[in-house]
């Protein structure tokens, strides 16, 4: 999957989850609102950071520099959304 497609996929997964939280929160929060787009981006970026951090040593051990570069590109694409 191209990095741009993966970025959109991850963002959309987070966006759907944030929608669920927003619906749940609206029942309990006192009129609080939040930007689903910003929160979804932050969640997707956090997930990619974890993938990069967890995979860092295995990338280096297996010579998987391409995988690390791929996830860095996914991160850049998410930031551009």
- Looking at residue 68, its pLDDT comes to 81
When divided into structural domains, the chain yields a total of: 1
43 falls within a domain: yes
- Looking at residue 26, its pLDDT comes to 64
42 falls within a domain: yes
28 falls within a domain: no
pTM: 0.71
- Looking at residue 20, its pLDDT comes to 74
Q: Which domain holds residue 58?
A: 3-23+35-80
Collect the ranges in the chain with pLDDT lower than 50: none
Q: How far is CA 13 from CA 22, 29, 43, 44, 57, in A?
A: 14, 23, 10, 8, 27
69 falls within a domain: yes
67 falls within a domain: yes
29 falls within a domain: no
């Amino acid at each position: 999957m191209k990095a741009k497609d993966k970025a959109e996929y991850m963002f959309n997964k987070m966006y759907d989850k944030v929608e669920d939280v927003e619906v749940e929160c609206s029942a309990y929060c006192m009129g609080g609102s939040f930007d689903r787009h910003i929160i979804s981006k932050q969640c997707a970026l956090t997930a990619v950071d974890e993938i990069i951090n967890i995979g860092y040593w295995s990338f280096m051990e297996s010579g998987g520099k391409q995988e690390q570069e791929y996830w860095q590109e996914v991160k850049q694409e998410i930031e551009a959304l």
